[in-house]
Amino acid sequence: MKEEIIQIANASQVGFRFRQFRQSILKTQTELAESGVFSQRRISFIENGLSFPNLDELSYLVETYKLDLNWLVSGEGEMFLANITAKETDETCKVFHEMIEEAHTDPGIKEAILLRYSELKRLKEFEETKSGNKSRKK
């Protein structure tokens, strides 16, 4: 039953991708912990599938490294985002965190996470296209 409930948000899969991300930015656990957002022990817990990143940690990763939360959760898409605003970062992280919390009771969490995140990405792309059109008209 546990596997059904958090199939998409499987902590070990998120931990595996978190480790891939950390290694891709060429940081050791200790070096990433120097940010003050994580402790080395917390990073180890996440990477070993014992815990999920919290809202502050997710916000830091998106703002600082442009980590794509869709990739972190599902493995789909690119590891890193293109340009993203602070408001979008905050909203995306809050929604992701709420959905992860619900993962323990809602078997449909995969669809909910991916749907909401896709909506946010489409909105961002629309805003970028709209901004690009305004720039060309001037």
pLDDT tens, position by position, 114-129: 566 666 666 666 666 6
pTM of the entire structure?
0.58
76 HSE (CA, 13 A, CB side): 10
pLDDT of amino acid 89: 60
CA distance 41 to 29: 8
Handedness of CA 105, 108, 112, 113 (dihedral sign): positive
| pLDDT score recorded for residue 7 | 42
Residues 6+ apart with CB under 8 A from 102: 109, 112
- What tens digit of pLDDT does each residue of 80-103 get? 887 655 556 666 666 666 666 666
- Look at residue 53 and tell me whether its pLDDT is greater than 70: yes
